[in-house]
Amino acid sequence: MPIRPATFPRAQGWLRWALVAVPMVAAMPRADALTWSLIGVTLALSLPLPWIHDAVLRPPMTALTLALIASTGALWVLHPGSWASVAMFSTTFFVVLKQSTVPIVLAIALDAGVITTWAARHDLWDDALSTYAVLAVIVLMALNRRARLARVEQTELALARAQTANEEHARAAALAERARIARELHDVLAHSLAGLSLNLQGARLMLVRDGASPDAVAQIERAQALAADGLAEARQAVAALREDAVGVERAIADLLAAYRLDTGARADLAVEGEPRELAPAVGTALVRAVQEALANTRKHAAQAEVDVTLGYAGGSVELTVADRQGRRPPDAAAAGYGLRGMGERVALLDGRLDSGPGEDGWRIHLTVPA
């Protein structure tokens, strides 16, 4: 079961922020009114940097990074001897590393414009060529790093898929063996016990007809009851082997693992309370709810992160599925067949289902008696 990632910024995030903040602090001793304004804007824009971990940033973060390049570039043009160029180039490296083609092109164009303005303002055209070369090296380094990270991710994904395939093969082999044992139990033991029960029934009727002693009839009835119990247990064993019952937590974790492999987005399960065995109908309702919620997320919010919480209370089980779209989704015009079917299944269990948009995505919450 995956563990939720820590929300505290990572070391790379702090380094990314420091490469912007330190040059701003260094520029403060020589700052005039305009410089102070640029420093304040840049520091304000840099505050979210430690918390950015997306593979491809959402539009607000894209605008933020481009604004950072513009503000640090303007400060560098005003004070060519400052470290503002470090902040500008480090932010460019991050944009090329993390973002899509259009933001990358815009960032490079901004850098080229800043360098051209810097050279024209201070008549440093001889140094402009080397600065363009520095920009090219930074872009190439970021592209190389990006390609390496993509190769590592593809390798990890291939290994995960291979492991999943191996597990599925092992599972299929185990299911085939269980099915073979179930057939043997059904064809041999269950049939034999059924025949024994019928013969004992006939023997009891013959003893009653012939006026046998009550003790003899009672012994036959006890033997018949034992045969019937054995037949019922054999049928239960066959059903258990055929069903291959899987725990609710494991089934939900498998669904989330498949979602992560398909989309590359984070999908975590948190279990609250003490897990316990649930009725088959309850377990099916919970698993089907997660399955339907993930299908809707794939359809309406591709690559959204998903958080699933399974809580065991005193006499009920609560399930919450929330996708993190980064914005409030529009209200659905009408519930689809999937949500309606989920609601009907929960209603049959005397449970309650709530679904609708939240602050940053769609949320489904259901409670069923356990």
Beta carbons within 8 Å of 152's beta carbon, 6+ residues apart: none
- Does the residue 83 lie in any domain? yes
Confidence of residue 2 (pLDDT cuts 50, 70, 90): very low
Q: Which of 123, 150, 182 is the last residue before a domain boundary?
A: 123
pLDDT at position 141 over 50:
yes
Are the CB atoms for 135 and 111 separated by under 8 Å?
yes
- The share of the chain scoring above pLDDT 90, in percent, equals 21
326 and 306 part of one domain: yes
Q: Residue 10: which of 46, 49, 43 has the closest Cα?
A: 49
- Does the residue 355 lie in any domain? yes
Q: How far is CA 74 from CA 77, 88, 109, 344, in A?
A: 5, 10, 14, 60
Domain count across the chain: 3
Confidence of residue 317 (pLDDT cuts 50, 70, 90): very high
Q: What is the pLDDT of residue 137?
A: 95
Cα distance between residue 195 and residue 292, in whole Å:
46
pLDDT in tens, 165-181: 888 888 778 777 777 77
Which helix (H) or strand (E) is 354 found in, with range?
strand 352-357
Q: Which of 209, 243, 277 is the last residue before a domain boundary?
A: 243
Confidence of residue 190 (pLDDT cuts 50, 70, 90): low
- Does the residue 15 lie in any domain? yes
354 and 276 part of one domain: yes
- Does the residue 134 lie in any domain? no
Could you tell me the residue range of the domain that residue 203 belongs to? Answer: 165-243
pLDDT in tens, 211-220: 888 888 888 8
- Does the residue 135 lie in any domain? no
Residues 165, 169, 174, 180, Cα dihedral to 10°: 150
Residues 66, 71, 72, 78, Cα dihedral to 10°: 150
Local structure of residue 187 (DSSP, 8 states): I
Q: Which of 101, 123, 145 is the last residue before a domain boundary?
A: 123
CATH of the domain at 306: 3.30.565.10
Q: 68: how many CB neighbours lie within 10 A of its CB?
A: 25
Confidence of residue 236 (pLDDT cuts 50, 70, 90): low
- The side-by-side arrangement of strands in the sheet containing 267-272 is 267-272, 305-312, 316-324, 362-369, 352-357
Residues facing residue 268 across a β-bridge: 307
CA angle at residue 117 from 113 to 118, to 5 degrees? 115
For the residues 332-348, what does the mean pLDDT come to?
A: 72
Cα distance between residue 344 and residue 370, in whole Å:
17
213 and 263 part of one domain: no
Confidence of residue 48 (pLDDT cuts 50, 70, 90): confident
- Does the residue 149 lie in any domain? no
Q: Residue 196: which of 234, 237, 221, 228 has the closest Cα?
A: 228
pLDDT in tens, 89-122: 999 998 898 888 898 999 999 999 999 999 999 8
- The share of the chain scoring above pLDDT 70, in percent, equals 87
List helix spans (H) across the chain.
11-27, 33-46, 59-78, 84-98, 101-122, 125-184, 191-209, 214-243, 248-263, 280-300, 337-348
Q: How far is CA 202 from CA 199, 205, 207, 304, in A?
A: 5, 5, 9, 67
Write down the pTM of the prediction. Answer: 0.47
For the residues 149-163, what does the mean pLDDT come to?
A: 86
272 and 287 part of one domain: yes
Residues facing residue 369 across a β-bridge: 316
Cα distance between residue 172 and residue 164, in whole Å:
12
- Does the residue 35 lie in any domain? yes
Cα distance between residue 120 and residue 154, in whole Å:
45
Q: What is the pLDDT of residue 89?
A: 93
Q: What is the pLDDT of residue 55?
A: 45
Q: Mean pLDDT for the chain?
A: 82
Local structure of residue 303 (DSSP, 8 states): T
Cα distance between residue 86 and residue 27, in whole Å:
12
Q: What is the pLDDT of residue 6?
A: 40
Least confident of 40-54, 60-74, 109-123: 40-54
pLDDT at position 59 over 70:
yes
Beta carbons within 8 Å of 34's beta carbon, 6+ residues apart: 78
Cα distance between residue 287 and residue 308, in whole Å:
11
